[in-house]
Chain A
Amino acid sequence: MEFLTLDVILNSLGEVGSTVLYILVGTLLLEIIVYFLWRPLEIFSGLVDRVLKPMGDPVRHGLSTLLLVGVLVFTVASVSVGVEQSPPPWAPYWPLAIVAFLVGAFISPTAPKIFHWQLRLPYMLFAPALVGLLVLVIYPLLWELNVSFTNLNPKHFKAPDFVGLKNYIDVFTTPVLKQVTFFPVFLRTILWTVINVAFHVTGGMALALLLNRKLKLKGLYRTLLVFPWAIPQPVACLAWRGEFHFEYGFVNILLQRIGLPAIQWMTTPFWNFAAMCITNIWLGIPFMMVILLGGLQSIAGEYYEAAEIDGASGWQQFWNVTIPLLQPILTPAIILGTVWTFTNFNVPFFINQNELETSDTLVTALFRSAFQYFNLGDAAAFAFVNFGILLIFAILYIRVTGGLKGATE
């Protein structure tokens, strides 16, 4: 048992401080290395480019892609998964892979474009974050990819077998856990997301409109209304779970006081889903309200005056002045809200106390499959299908809203 003595505080400050220092120093070193490496690389890449020009661009692109893809496959296949799995027979050839990577990188016609002297700064600035992400995100990703092609579970633990695409096929054909298969869970997750975001936006907008005026106690209202966002999510979820209790929760007590029968929130699929939605809506409206309120406050009053002079009614003002001017904020808010709701784990997991399969979203089903049975092969495949769906959504969204525009505007 440790108590908060001065020793403990100083100790932890020391450790934490040294970590921050290490990271900063490491970042600086990395950036310096990149910075000074750029010129030699530029010269080298220019040389290679001149020498290889007769080969023609398409050939070079093709070769380069081939080599790089090969290196990728090699890397994925070399990430060993089982504890007692002997490294694959091609593992000792990793120096070859590095050479292949370098060759593939420099053959490509885009190499000289990258190693341009002007571009040393952006790459240098991005390098530390990139390295950190590569380590912390890429390695787990590759590991999971590898696992998704094996049958890693307690019965095949130390030396799992390669099973190819079997897990991926299973994702779509066999039940995720007991009875429900992929598409119902997927559709339910979409329904969950749409319902929640719709209520978040409408509710947030309504409250923001109400608060967007000279009002006594406005600060107090804003403070209180923000409670759901400031409370840690797990605590809020457990609080709401208690409120949906059949006998003791205030929801049923209220219902009974106004004469309606008490609802079995925890055991009925429909009502359990409703309970999840109610909780998440309660949690999500404050965030929307804050964002939209900020947006509303920055819309200059002149627009409304101009509209009124033109004879627009309140409703028309809303649709034709407020919404369009709010668009730049509304869009990212909606997208963020959608992504966060889709991948929300806490609410469906904790509200669904009785682990009803009918209340699972993709993320909770994945969690149960992975950890309750430690069926990592299946879970990994499932996770990648999930990821693929979201990735397609992300790419489409960026296309539609032009989110990448920036430096040339």
Chain B
Amino acid sequence: MFPSDLKPEQFNGYPPEARKLVSAYVGVLRGLPLSFLPSLLREAIEYDFKFPAERRALEKELANLDSLSAEQLRDWLQGFAQLHLSAQLEHSDWINAPAQFVEQLSSYLWTTHQLDAFRNAALAYADRLRQAVPPEKPPAPRVGITIIGQGVITNGVPLFRKLRPHGAYFRAVKPENGLQLLLNVVAERAKAHPVPYGHWYIDGGRAAPCDPALTCVSYHELEPVRAVLSGKIRSQIERPGMGPENLRTVLAQLRPVDLGLPTKDGDAVLDRFQVKMLTEGSGTQIFSTTFAQWTAREALRRAQPLTLLVRFAPRQRQKPMNEMLSAGHEVAELDPLGSLIDADMGAYYNWLNLQRLQGAEQSSFLVWFEDHSEAVAIGPSLPRGTESTTAVALDQLLGWAS
């Protein structure tokens, strides 16, 4: 089947809001190349479970495509149109299973040496889209906070080497009550700028009590979900003929209810997000440091929050993968020093991902070695590559960075 054959009723399997959205644009969808359209449908089919920022971006993208003339559309998408696809891809159910199609497309593009052409086409399209539909400016400058090193008493590894050139390194931070001070700052921002999913607290361990206005995700809270997921992976892998790609497809189809969610809060969007962190992330099921980093990355990319506080916690020590996935309720041996190194890199990635959002030049970032006196603050008013021995509280430091 080709896009030109599309009919509105073929989207009847989509969730209600997604169906409504896509049905309104069937006309323009018919004119899109098959190498492009399923990528768009992969986003659209999830519309009911997307964060507000994602929804608005998708709506604008569709409206923009709809506003183009046939000639402009060809021009915008010519790179995609020139790709050769297989008959198997053309005959697959790309309407109802667009994510599966995109996975198969990716494999096909690698195999046929067309990945670079696809990449160039995607970059060209994204550039034009950004010009036509600029990303939304945030209603307030964004703030990112990362706390690393929980449980580490002494450390001989130099920290923040990648971040220091971008901001000021403080050696005499007052660590007392630091986490609470920072959570208070985040809560105050949530009250001052009440944006849905605009203020996040991600904890790689057990979350500290926090203001209900924050979107809170913690590795500890998801322990029962992770246990159910591990059981499902085990049962799938024991089935004859099950390979990694099949397993990935099965995992991608899991819904919150399959893993014991929804939670008591009944937030379908957040539940879906959390499930995706565990089913689509690599290593997130077994290493809390990976979970915290990947969740922060996805929260920034998808929800585009105004405030993000990420607190890393010690992960379990490395063991064979199968053993880690099969672990029961026994207490895992932890690796605080290894986790500190993971989190130090994770903090850098949090900053990089914050920089990818609109308004990056006004954003500020703080990384703190928990319960210690070291921190780096980055912001428009702080000099780069400097050091300070001034005794300062964390909330004050954040104020300087903003």
Partners in one complex: no
Interface residues of A (CB under 8 A from B): none
